[in-house]
Chains A and B, each alone.
Chain A
Amino acid sequence: MCLSALNPNTRAIVPGAPKVQQTTELQRPLQIPIHPQLLTLRTSQPTLEHHGTGYDLTNSVFSPDGRNFQVEYAVKAVENGGTSIGIRCKDGVVLAVEKIITSKLLKAGANKRIATIDRHVGAVSSGLVPDGRHFVSRARDEAASWRSTYKTPITTKDLASRMGGYLQAYTLYSSVRPFGITAIVAGWDSELELPVDGQVGSGPSIGSGGKVEGMTFGGPGLYMIEPSGMYWGYYGAATGKGRQTAKAELEKLDLAALKLSLQDGVKEAAKIIYVAHADNKDKEFELEMTWISNLDGPTKGRHQEVPKDILEEAENLAKKYLEGEDDEETKDDDKPAEGDKMEE
């Protein structure tokens, strides 16, 4: 049994219960972009009227007005989870999550919530934590199977597409429930023309060798995948309890211009998590951050934890920013304190 695990031919992707076939892009079932939130704008929130009608008791069943309530309820699980965000910067991507401390007995600094999918891709999710782990496990399998097929790392975009398809499949059958998470996937696709995995030589030493001058590759990627299976690419993404506040903060950054540096992105990310948490002050939290820089940057294209010193610096700035917001009116109180210091 153990040895069969060694044979890569039998290292099959572990599928979830629904028979999701490994299909190509074209064969994939059409994704019908029903945005749960858009739909709830049109119709009323699920209220008592739906209870007893039975349309909200089973997954994959449409109600007479075209809604899949079980997917909408899954979104509710997301909305109760800790805030997760991602920021796409010019030279990298950063992920951050607000980890609510549910017990004093938890080991501090352990229990990482942002996972490495492949060397260059990370993912974080808000909602049911075990569902998030299922997502990560599948995403890792997708990335590995992509590598074994194409001998090259999966792009962030392709991974988002594969995972969108996977989550969508969990809305199709009454034998499963949708994922109770919204996931943010961040990656840096190498800006160099990559060697094929396992390549041994460097090709012909004369002639173009199939290379095209001036061609550009890769860059930052950021995608958010919802329980419905729907996904979009983002400049800045936020989900979980504090998503509204976080989105408002993200919008201030003009991320579409792609001018924000990764170093500044880390500081902004910490600030946004702290600001978003301010609405939920009674609970303590831990900030976890990871990043992926370009090949010249601090992580050399790999998904890694933000180093402790940089994380602490960003957290201190975030705290200072929050204090500043609180003390706006009480500035006069600070002045004597400064005066004291100068006397010393």
Chain B
Amino acid sequence: MNHLPQAWGRPRDDIYGAYDSSYLQSHGPNQHTQQPIVTGTSVVALKFKDGVIIAADNLASYGSLARFTDVKRLRTFADTSVVGFGGDVSDMQYLDRLLTSLDTEEAYSSSGHTLNAHNLHTYLSKVFYKRRSDFNPLWNQILVAGLDGESKPFLASADLLGTTFSSPSLATGFGAHLAQPLLRKVAPDEEAAAKLSKEQALEAVKESMKVLFYRDARSLDNYSIAVITKDGIDLKENEKLEKQSWAFADQIRGYGTQIN
């Protein structure tokens, strides 16, 4: 899967050849979502000693147009988990409402117990799989961050195909290419992540967000970031990337008009 949400879930042209659109007919079988419209780009997340840090920028793009610049792509669930959404924004809104209704149902009982991040991830992955099996996918890749049943840090991914995986660090979209290697450097495995302090993890995530802003044309330097621990969620929705340095930019060759 590459960084373009438009390409997600399609057979790769370089392997299977271009899609033969003559198969598409205006009358005929039902057509569901064929492509995302308004999209969010990367979500990055990293486990640390006491919890998980997750971040996503506040941009919703309409194709290559930076259309909405205040879109919050980290959604909280029951003050215990955070879901970060990449991909289609309207599908994200739909899923967010689904999570609200789930949260309401959980609050019917006053026991104080609710679904943990692990339960939430299982549920969302089933929703994705059901929808893709109906040929009507929800065009997202998501990261679920929180704590599992044993109050250990939990981080896992689910996507429009119903695919799931888990790792001490995860990133969606462009981040899977650019941020993931950086995060793996600080947390190559679970043992390493379990030794990370919150400060170290924060620094690694913020650095990843900065690199993504440098190199991903569909990104923004306004972002949201959440730290999830057993004490709850610390969510900041209007952060600005600090200490940007564009000195590398004039070394770039091969794009646009160049004099030398």
| Residues of chain A whose beta carbon lies under 8 Å from any beta carbon of chain B | 3, 6-8, 112, 115-116, 118-119, 140, 143-144, 147-148, 151, 197-202, 205, 304-305
Contact = CB atoms under 8 A, between A and B. Distances in A.
Given A200-B68, A201-B68, A151 B97 contact: yes
Contacts of A200: 60, 68, 71-73, 89, 92-93
Nearest to A290: B110
Contacts of A7: 130-131, 134
Contact of B101 (A3, A112, A147): A147
A110 B100 CA distance: 27
Interface residues of B, number: 26
B97 A201 contact: no
B70 interface: yes
A197 B100 contact: yes
B126 A198 contact: no
A119 B131 CA distance: 28
Interface string B121-161: 00100110011001000000000000000000000000000
Given A6-B127, A201-B68, A119 B93 contact: no
A304 B107 CA distance: 9
B169 to A, nearest CB: 26
Contact of A201 (B72, B94, B127): B72
B98 interface: yes
Contacts of A115: 108
Interface in B44-81: 60, 68, 70-73
Given A112-B110, A116-B108, A147-B101, A198 B130 contact: no
A34 to B, nearest CB: 33
7 contacts: A112-B110, A140-B108, A147-B100, A200-B71, A201-B60, A202-B70, A205-B70
A161 B97 CA distance: 24
A6 B110 contact: no
A197 B131 CA distance: 22
Contact of B126 (A6, A116, A140, A197): A6
